[in-house]
Amino acid sequence: MKRLISLVVGILFMCTFSSLFGAEVTTVTIWTPHDFDVRYKDKGVYETLWRPFEEEHPNIKIQWTRVPDWEQKFRIAAAAGQLPDIFAVDGINVPAYATRGLLEPLDRWVPKEVQRDYWRPALEEMTWDGKLYAVGLETNAHLLYYNTALFKNAGISKPPTSWEELVSIGQKLTQDFNGDGKIDQFGLSIPLGRNEYVMWILSAFIWANKGDIISPDGTRAVCNEPKAVEAVQFLSDLVNKYKIVPKAGQIQAGPEGAFIGQKVAMEYRGTFSLGPWQKYLKTVPWKVTFTPGAVKGTRVSGVGGWHFAMWSGSKNKEAAGEVIKYLTSPYMIKTLASSYGIALRMSISKEMKQDSTYPWSVGIAQMKVGRPRPRHPEYPTITDAMQQAFDNAILGGIPPKQALDEAARRINEVLKKK
């Protein structure tokens, strides 16, 4: 009995005291698919990312969770109205989520000068309809990775700078060493199949040829216009006519296998591999360069990445806003860049001398001519239609014009709905 009373008194005491001192601690929840716990395993995620914030803001605690299968979990939680305060969002989804009321505008916490410090294509991904809806976590540009050893063996000294060179160099690098009729080494690898990564890389080919997918005002599809059709025809030719690209799986000895297994000499990929592929330099002497434009002297790059957004239904917006501010801070930008590559803010990137340090310098140069994928609330349909067109034209033997006409039809259908 005595113990019970003292327990109750103790609890009441603590309650009164804590409310007296206003030690009301708000917990801000953050979800990302990114594996911070592995990337920052040396000092630990908390030490590296969150402690500096919590020290400045004793009333706010950050609770971060890594989500294993983002697509499914995020959508289920969102549909049921059970999202965390802050979550990562793929830049392509910002218009879709913003128009559907999922995202809280962040202009309150991020002044325009800071916004303008972000790389322009990344900022494009972070905004919609004039408002800022996300702040950068990481961003990536396209690069052409090439194997200098294989180049040397074929007597090639420089990587291609135009589509014509891409083909001629690619052909020299596609070889059947032992004469058994099977090609042992391919010149080039591009992603093929049905996923967003394919869309990210291949859409840049359309831009490289000065074509586009939807009109700049977002009212109609232009993916079936001549320049775009030419680009897709070129992609199909790479695989079927010049045969310098293996069909998906033909040579992929695993997701990283084709290039790392030294079965292809060149590969279109993102800047995100610059860090993780350092360890392969011992066995595969790779270098990076710009992705060639259709015509010599031109180039364009795709840009894409994940960003932090705030849930419009969050109960802790003020506290979360403080965290958003922190996520735009030089410290965070630098820390994330150490792991994911390009520093999102131009001033920080300059400070880190990324534009003068190889290989980051190549990525930075690509960022400067970079553009994001089509910005539209109906992007899910746009990307599905385009992926289908790529798949049908390149692997399905359907003429590019026909495949792209079908994609244009589907896209126009949803664009009309708006």
Partner 1 sequence: MLLTGSITKQRDGEKELMKMRKSQFNLLTKIFFYIVLSGLSIGFLIPFLWMISTAIKKPEYVWVFPPQWIPNPVVWKNFPEALKIMNFSFHLRNTLIITSLTMLGTLLSSSLVAYGFAMFRFKFREVLFMLLLSTMMLPSQVTIIPLFIVFTSLRWVNTFKPLIIPSFFGSPFFIFLLRQFFLTIPRELNEAAIIDGAGYFTIYRKIILPLSKPAIASVAIFQFMGAWNDFFGPLVYLNQMEKYPLSLALYAFRGVYSTDWHYLMAASVVITLPCLIVFFLAQRYFIQGITLTGMKG
Partner 2 sequence: MERKSRLAQREAKYGYLFISPWLLGFLMFVIIPIIASLYLSFTNYELFKPGTSWIGFKNYIELLTQDRLFWLSLYNTVYYTVFSVPLGIGVALILALLLNRKLYGVTIYRTIFYLPSVTSGVALSLLWVWLFNPTYGLINVLLGKIGIQGPGWISDPKWAKPAFILMSLWGVGGTMVILLAGLQGVPEQLYEAAELDGANWWQKFRHVTFPMISPVIFFNLIMGIIGAFQYFTQAYVMTGGGPVDSTLFYVLYLFRQGFLLLRMGYASAMAWLLFIIILLLTIIQFKLASYWVYYEAEGR
Contact residues for partner 2 (CB under 8 A)? 71-72, 75, 78-79, 96-97, 100-102, 182-183, 192-195, 247-255, 257, 261, 263, 380-381, 384, 388, 391-392, 395-396
- Interaction of residue 63 with partner 1, rule CB under 8 A: yes
Task: Tell me which residue has tokens 């400067």.
Answer: 368
Q: Specify the stretch interacting with partner 1 by CB under 8 A; choose among 77-85, 102-110, 202-210, 310-318.
A: 77-85
Contacts to partner 1 from residues 161-220, by CB under 8 A: none
The smaller minimum CB distance to partner 1, of residues 260 and 346, is found at 260
Contact 21, 294 (CB under 8 A): no
- Interaction of residue 405 with partner 1, rule CB under 8 A: no
Name which position in 186, 286, 306, 308 contacts partner 1 (CB under 8 A): 306
Q: Specify the stretch interacting with partner 1 by CB under 8 A; choose among 12-20, 61-69, 118-126, 287-295.
A: 61-69
Taking the complex as a whole, the smallest distance from the CB of residue 299 to partner 2 amounts, in Å, to: 29
Q: Which x/- pattern, by CB under 8 A, does the window 255-294 give for partner 1?
A: xxx--xxxx------x-xx--x--xx-xx-----------
- Select from 344, 373, 309 the least CA-distant residue to 134: 309
Question: Which are the contacts of 152, defined by CB distance < 8 A and separation ≥ 6?
Answer: none
100 binds, among partner 1, partner 2, none (CB under 5 to 8 A by kind): partner 2
Contact 235, 268 (CB under 8 A): no
Contact 118, 324 (CB under 8 A): no
Question: Which are the contacts of 361, defined by CB distance < 8 A and separation ≥ 6?
Answer: 354, 355
The smaller minimum CB distance to partner 2, of residues 54 and 391, is found at 391
**From the centroid of its chain, how far is CA 122?**
10
Which residues partner with 181 through β-bridges? none
> Residue type for 184, please?
D
- Interaction of residue 16 with partner 1, rule CB under 8 A: no
DSSP string, 239-280: HHTS--SPPTTTS-SSTTHHHHTTSEEEEEEEGGGTTGGGGG
Torsion of Cα atoms, 240 then 243 then 244 then 249, to 10°: 70
- Select from 115, 110, 128, 143 the least CA-distant residue to 346: 115
Name which position in 58, 68, 179, 297 contacts partner 1 (CB under 8 A): 68
The smaller minimum CB distance to partner 2, of residues 56 and 71, is found at 71
Question: Which are the contacts of 192, defined by CB distance < 8 A and separation ≥ 6?
Answer: 198, 239, 245, 247, 248, 390, 391, 394, 395
3-class DSSP assignment, residue 32: strand
- Interaction of residue 65 with partner 1, rule CB under 8 A: yes
Q: Specify the stretch interacting with partner 1 by CB under 8 A; choose among 64-72, 112-120, 145-153, 348-356.
A: 64-72
Cα–Cα distance measured from residue 251 to residue 186, given in angstroms and rounded to the nearest whole number? 8
4 binds, among partner 1, partner 2, none (CB under 5 to 8 A by kind): none
Taking the complex as a whole, the smallest distance from the CB of residue 350 to partner 1 amounts, in Å, to: 24
Would you say the C-alpha torsion 70, 71, 73, 74 has a positive or negative sign? positive
Contact 393, 400 (CB under 8 A): yes
73 binds, among partner 2, partner 1, none (CB under 5 to 8 A by kind): partner 1
Angle (deg, nearest 10), helices 379-390 and 400-417: 170
Name which position in 253, 350, 353, 396 contacts partner 1 (CB under 8 A): 253
Taking the complex as a whole, the smallest distance from the CB of residue 309 to partner 2 amounts, in Å, to: 13
Taking the complex as a whole, the smallest distance from the CB of residue 45 to partner 1 amounts, in Å, to: 10
Taking the complex as a whole, the smallest distance from the CB of residue 192 to partner 2 amounts, in Å, to: 8
The smaller minimum CB distance to partner 1, of residues 84 and 321, is found at 84
Residues that bind partner 1 (CB under 8 A): 29, 31, 33-35, 37-39, 41, 63, 65-69, 72-73, 76-77, 79-82, 84, 140, 253-257, 260-263, 270, 272-273, 276, 279-280, 282-283, 306, 340
